[in-house]
């Protein structure tokens, strides 16, 4: 049943510090995830650097298609595993699923230490696939658990803080990971990431996470397909949920390629320290996605405005990247202003995408019953990652074939994102306004 529109009598959201101080279970889940995310972004920058080193030479950076492989193998297996992950999250204990996911990912990351020649690149992709398939269980389990460990007036703050934390760890982890990889090499970074998963599992082990789900007595292999279809059917028969589940996907159609090009831009600003350049640009991305949820929570309290804000955010993100495509890209020691301008625009672009993300998550959590929540969030990841994967692959192929240069690719996919945001405003927002009117009529009837 869809939640009624927000009324003036609804309690105001709790503050960030008050939430962390008073809600011990949220605090433990949040603390564990924070440590894990820091290691993840160290890991990501190290993987980008490792692929460039394995496929490049002393005079030029590595293959765009090989780098795209890291992006794609971090997305597509996750998308394909998401439907089954959602069934697991709705069937089994979410707390133990998250703990098991952390332990398995720690073991998988340690295997990265053995990849050191170009011929072993396929094995790197295999390990990335295993890591993200296991992680595909953790994320929907965490998202589905938040409403169970928070009160209604805490939910928006919990989501905003979680999104801001993801972004802060991206900013800190990308920046520190870039410099650590440049100075120490990739292997110490992989060791650190493995340790952070174990710390995360310890914090979650100490949390209490209730859930309102009923496990089937039938074996999973007999019911998984039916339960997956049941989750998809739930989105189809509940349009207010199905529409919102497409919000992040509307960003991903152009946004996937734009984030990919951000990694390729790294050596344009730091010619002799690729990892540091990538780290700085991804740090800007993290700062933006951290600011966006905080601003959205403070400015847009009325849920009736959220769908329009979400579409506008997608357009703003595209506009900012469009401007980036026209700026000079010069080494920081030649023209510092060039890097600073790009960083400011990347912060703004991902501030908008971060706001879109948190408003979408809160609406889905409020509109979805607990017994379906895992499958809804897993399906949302599927809807997000498939277009994001296609976007990255298309950009990589166009760049590898020489049909587009990097600057033109940024400009083209910025326009794709602008058009997706416009389509959301024209097609989805009117239906959401009608839904709000219907809910207000039910509330006063």
Pick from 309, 436, 426: which is nearest to 367 by CA? Answer: 436
* Residue 343: inside a domain: yes
Burial class (CB in 10 A: 0-12, 13-18, 19+), 106: buried
- Asked if 375 and 228 touch (Cβ cutoff 8 Å), the reply is yes
Query: How confident is the model at residue 154, as a pLDDT?
Result: 87
Q: Is the torsion defined by CA of 415, 419, 424, 430 positive or negative?
A: positive
Q: What is the dihedral of CA 64, 107, 287, 266, to 10 degrees?
A: -20
pTM: 0.72
- Asked if 371 and 215 touch (Cβ cutoff 8 Å), the reply is no
- Asked if 109 and 132 touch (Cβ cutoff 8 Å), the reply is no
Query: How confident is the model at residue 442, as a pLDDT?
Result: 65
* Residue 103: inside a domain: yes
* Residue 5: inside a domain: no
- Asked if 190 and 177 touch (Cβ cutoff 8 Å), the reply is no
* Residue 241: inside a domain: yes
* Residue 56: inside a domain: yes
CA distances from 199 to 35, 96, 129, 242 (A): 7, 15, 22, 36
- Residue 115: which CATH number? 1.20.1250.20
Helices (H), 92-151: 94-110, 121-149
Alpha carbons 321 and 397: distance in angstroms, whole number: 20
Domain span at residue 319 reads: 22-444
Query: How confident is the model at residue 444, as a pLDDT?
Result: 58
Taking only the tens of pLDDT, the chain with its 445 residues reads 344 434 444 456 788 888 989 999 999 999 988 888 887 777 887 887 788 778 765 444 456 788 788 888 888 888 788 778 878 888 888 899 999 999 999 999 999 999 888 888 889 899 999 998 998 888 888 888 888 898 888 888 888 888 778 777 877 777 777 777 777 778 888 888 899 899 999 999 999 888 776 656 665 555 666 667 777 788 888 888 989 988 999 999 999 999 989 888 876 776 655 566 777 888 888 888 878 888 887 888 788 889 999 999 999 999 999 999 999 887 766 667 778 899 999 999 999 998 998 899 889 888 888 778 877 877 887 788 889 989 999 998 999 888 999 999 999 999 999 999 999 999 999 999 888 877 766 665 5
The tens digit of pLDDT for each residue in 120-145 reads 888 989 999 999 899 888 888 888 88
Pick from 395, 260, 258: which is nearest to 324 by CA? Answer: 258
**To 5 degrees, how large is the angle CA 85–CA 389–CA 189?**
75
Query: How confident is the model at residue 330, as a pLDDT?
Result: 79
Structural domain count, the chain:
1
* Residue 17: inside a domain: no
Burial class (CB in 10 A: 0-12, 13-18, 19+), 68: buried
Query: How confident is the model at residue 311, as a pLDDT?
Result: 94
- Asked if 138 and 242 touch (Cβ cutoff 8 Å), the reply is no
- Asked if 360 and 310 touch (Cβ cutoff 8 Å), the reply is yes
- Asked if 313 and 373 touch (Cβ cutoff 8 Å), the reply is no
Task: Give the gyration radius of the chain's Cα atoms.
Answer: 21
* Residue 113: inside a domain: yes
DSSP label of 217? S
């Amino acid at each position: 049943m869809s939640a009624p529109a927000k009324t003036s009598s609804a309690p105001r959201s709790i503050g960030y510090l008050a939430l962390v101080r008073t809600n011990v279970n949220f605090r433990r889940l949040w603390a564990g995830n924070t440590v894990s995310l820091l290691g993840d972004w160290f890991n990501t920058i190290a993987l980008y650097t490792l692929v460039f080193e394995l496929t490049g030479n002393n005079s030029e950076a590595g293959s765009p298609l090989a780098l795209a492989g890291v992006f794609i193998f971090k997305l597509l297996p996750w998308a394909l595993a998401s439907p089954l992950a959602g069934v697991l999250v709705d069937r089994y204990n979410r707390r133990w699923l998250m703990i098991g996911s952390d332990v398995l990912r720690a073991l998988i990351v340690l295997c990265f230490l053995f990849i050191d020649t170009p011929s072993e690149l396929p094995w790197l992709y295999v390990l990335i696939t295993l890591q993200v398939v296991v992680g595909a269980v953790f994320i929907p389990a965490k998202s589905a658990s938040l409403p169970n460990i928070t009160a209604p007036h805490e939910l928006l703050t919990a989501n905003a803080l979680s999104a801001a934390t993801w972004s802060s760890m991206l900013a800190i982890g990308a920046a520190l990971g870039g410099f650590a990889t440049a100075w120490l090499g990739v292997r110490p970074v992989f060791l650190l990431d493995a340790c952070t998963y174990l710390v995360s599992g310890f914090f979650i082990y100490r949390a209490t996470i209730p859930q309102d789900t009923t496990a089937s007595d039938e074996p999973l292999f007999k019911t998984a397909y039916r339960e997956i279809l049941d989750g998809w059917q739930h989105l189809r028969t509940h349009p207010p949920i199905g529409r919102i589940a497409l919000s992040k996907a509307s960003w991903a159609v152009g946004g996937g390629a734009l984030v990919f090009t951000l990694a390729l831009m790294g050596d344009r600003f730091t010619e002799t320290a690729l990892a540091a350049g990538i780290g700085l640009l991804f740090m800007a991305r993290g700062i933006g996605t951290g600011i966006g949820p905080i601003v959205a929570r403070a400015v847009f309290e009325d849920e009736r405005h959220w769908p329009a804000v979400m579409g506008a955010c997608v357009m703003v993100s595209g506009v900012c990247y469009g401007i980036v495509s026209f700026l000079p890209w010069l080494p920081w020691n030649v023209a510092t202003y060039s890097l600073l301008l790009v960083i400011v625009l990347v912060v703004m672009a991902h501030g908008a995408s971060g706001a879109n993300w948190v408003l979408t998550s809160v609406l889905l959590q409020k509109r979805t019953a607990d017994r379906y929540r895992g499958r809804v969030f897993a399906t949302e990841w599927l809807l997000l990652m498939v277009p994001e994967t296609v976007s990255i692959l298309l950009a990589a192929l166009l760049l590898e074939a020489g049909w587009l240069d990097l600057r033109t690719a940024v400009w083209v996919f910025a326009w794709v994102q602008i058009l997706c945001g416009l389509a959301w405003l024209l097609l989805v927002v009117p239906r959401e306004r009608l839904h709000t009117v219907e809910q207000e009529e039910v509330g006063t009837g």
